[in-house]
Chains A and B, each alone.
Chain A
Amino acid sequence: MYQYIIKRVLLTIPTLFGAAALVFLLMRLIPGDICLVRLGGGGASFDPKALIACHAEIGVDRPVIVQFLEFIWGLCRFDFGTSMWSGKPVATEILARLPISLEIALLATTVAVSIAIPLGAISALKQNTWIDVFVRIFAIGGIATPSFWLGIVSVLLVLDVTGWATGTPWMPPIDYVPIWKDPIRNLSMAILPAITVGYRYAAVSMRMTRSAMLEVMREDYIRTARAKGLINKIIINRHALKNALLPVVTLIGIEFAFLIGGLVVTEQVFNLNGVGRLFVQAVQNQDYTLTQALVMLTVAIFVFTNLVVDLLYGWLDPRIRFA
């Protein structure tokens, strides 16, 4: 097991390194000179000295390989440079926005998974009943609904319903308060974004649980368990669900990446000052240092989630470890 863990952890290094190289390469593909764009914004004339100074400031006057090594060394020390737009360190910018995004991501995952697994399992056990039909429609809808549209419509619904019920339309608060200071205010802000971004998550996991469960229930060992007179509850919990959840665990890891992508759009809808919004602003402002740091951050999260999923998988299914 330890060998497996060490091997798996070491395998993430080349991926992260490659991703860093790709990000570095992508950012060097930008057509034209960043400094020219910054200085000659309105087509105005500028001082050639300013151009040289700007090149020196960003560091593009040095050999590419030096720039690359410096970029990698910076990543190793969590030093992402300064934002080209605000002039503040990139790490400060990101850290200030991280809590809200993290909270929504975790809330969405928790809600989605805790709905998806029981419903998916029930739908498989009661195949072709009304609950199965409902779950399937819910799941198909979740994959087709754009999360930002769901966000707009849910805000609209909340506005209309509260306006109709109490006379004054209620809007979720938009400034972030940590959950330990004011849990009600914090949750009333995070819950709608978490639901809209988590709907797809729930839908996909539900589909997976259902099909995995259907498959497992046809296995020989389930028949054996029945034949030896085990009660249904034990058959389902201990024999069926445990095996059916294996592919679901993998999927939850993969879908976490979608969730991050979904956050980028959802934060825009709810006007939340999270990392996703920062990303969009960085792209809009052509703030390349911030963009490359954020891309690296998402890739790191993705690689790390996959690592956790793989280790979990190895723990859940001993066959994987020895393969």
Chain B
Amino acid sequence: MSATVIDDAPLPQRSFWQSTLRFCRRQPLGTFGLILVIVMAVTGFTAEWISPYNPTANDFAAMTEAPSWDHLLGTDQFGRDLMSRIIYGARTALIVGLTSAVVGGFSGLVIGVASAYFGGLTDLIIQRVSDIVMAFPLIIMALAVVSIFGPGVHNVILAITIPLIPRCSRVVRSSALTIRSMPYVDAARACGFGHTRIILRHMVPNVVAPFLIMVTSFVGQAILAEASLSYLGLGVQEPVPAWGLMLQGGAEEYASTAPWIAIFPGVAIMLAVLGINLFGDALRDALDPKLRER
């Protein structure tokens, strides 16, 4: 009898495309964000083929030119095509944003789950160390790291990753604490499974929802932090095209005569972060309706 009841109410199993379509229909703003993110990813990865000019080639015959059909977004003070630099800048932003968010997120995930799983002294020590690291504002910590290792793409990634780890581990830990007391974790331990197996196979998959939301917001934060560091001259260095770097120096100097140099890279940063945030908000609503802001 009970078998029939179960047969009558099968669990909704949706394919990837079905759930994507559902997401798009329910979350129009999130879809808009997703589109922005996809556009950014595609331009970043295909920069070689779609950018009209070489982003680092100076053209002294065409300095600070206003947007035209030749240079859709104009040129900067060295005659470099802004459109091409923004397209390549998307790649830099993506590399820095994704790497720091993913590495910082995963390190935080493992540390957070381990902290909750082991409890006791381990938990206490990890939590106190997180407290200390979190007392450093993100950009301040990043500046301190850059001051030690010097600027450059790799060091910027490191500088942004480190402060993200405790922020992630804190959130993951609190979700993992509830999971730790679940009977299936006790069952796994009773079966004699090792710590690594229990953490990775039984606990980690169950904290994926808050983790994904967290990592999405990290990408946006990382892109903003990278832009700020590069703008200060302490991040990505010339001639690598980066949005923050494009706003440095020339942009302010020529702001009144050639405002496009200052405006377009900022719009690019804003759209990228906006897209990621909108998508992240929608993802949160879709994955965890309890967290929804009404």
Answer whether A and B are interacting partners: yes
Report chain A residues within 8 Å CB of B88.
none
A208 to chain B, nearest CB (A): 9
Q: Say whether A146 contacts B148, CB under 8 Å.
A: no
Tell me if B232 counts as interface (CB < 8 A to partner A).
yes
Q: Say whether A298 contacts B270, CB under 8 Å.
A: no
Q: Say whether A144 contacts B220, CB under 8 Å.
A: yes
Taking a contact as CB atoms closer than 8 A, the residue among A152, A211, A215, A291 that contacts B251 in the complex is A152
Q: Say whether B293 contacts A211, CB under 8 Å.
A: yes
Tell me if A250 counts as interface (CB < 8 A to partner B).
no
The B-contacting residues of A in range 20-51, CB under 8 angstroms, are: 22-23, 26-27, 29-31
Looking at the complex, which of A74-82, A238-246, A257-265, A313-321 is the stretch in contact with chain B?
A257-265
Q: Say whether B277 contacts A264, CB under 8 Å.
A: no
Q: Say whether B144 contacts A261, CB under 8 Å.
A: no
* Assembly CA distance A286 to B146 (angstroms): 10
Tell me if B138 counts as interface (CB < 8 A to partner A).
yes
* Assembly CA distance A143 to B234 (angstroms): 23
Contact bitstring A289-323, B, C-beta under 8 A = 1, else 0: 00100010011001100000000000000000000
Report chain A residues within 8 Å CB of B138.
258, 261
| Size of interface on B: residues with Cβ below 8 Å to A | 46
B218 to chain A, nearest CB (A): 13
Instruction: Give the interface residue-count category, chain A.
Output: 35 or more
A214 to chain B, nearest CB (A): 5
Tell me if B262 counts as interface (CB < 8 A to partner A).
yes
Q: Say whether B228 contacts A148, CB under 8 Å.
A: yes
Q: Say whether B228 contacts A265, CB under 8 Å.
A: yes
Tell me if A59 counts as interface (CB < 8 A to partner B).
no
The A-contacting residues of B in range 258-290, CB under 8 angstroms, are: 259, 262-263, 265-266, 269-271, 273-274, 277-278
Report chain A residues within 8 Å CB of B256.
156, 159-160, 169
* Assembly CA distance A98 to B139 (angstroms): 19
Tell me if B149 counts as interface (CB < 8 A to partner A).
yes
Tell me if B140 counts as interface (CB < 8 A to partner A).
yes
Q: Say whether B262 contacts A152, CB under 8 Å.
A: yes
Contact bitstring A262-275, B, C-beta under 8 A = 1, else 0: 10110011000000
Tell me if A280 counts as interface (CB < 8 A to partner B).
yes
Residue of B with least CB distance to A29: B148
Residue of A with least CB distance to B233: A284
Tell me if B50 counts as interface (CB < 8 A to partner A).
no
The B-contacting residues of A in range 109-150, CB under 8 angstroms, are: 127, 140-141, 143-146, 148-150
**Which 3 pairs between the two chains have the least Cβ-Cβ distance?**
A149-B266, A261-B139, A18-B132
Which residues of A come within 8 Å of B, CB atoms? 14-15, 18-19, 22-23, 26-27, 29-31, 127, 140-141, 143-146, 148-150, 152-153, 155-156, 159-160, 169, 207, 210-211, 214-215, 257-258, 260-262, 264-265, 268-269, 279-280, 282-284, 286, 288, 291, 295, 298-299, 302-303
Which residues of B come within 8 Å of A, CB atoms? 128-129, 131-133, 135-140, 143-149, 220, 224, 227-228, 231-234, 244, 247, 251-252, 255-256, 259, 262-263, 265-266, 269-271, 273-274, 277-278, 293-294
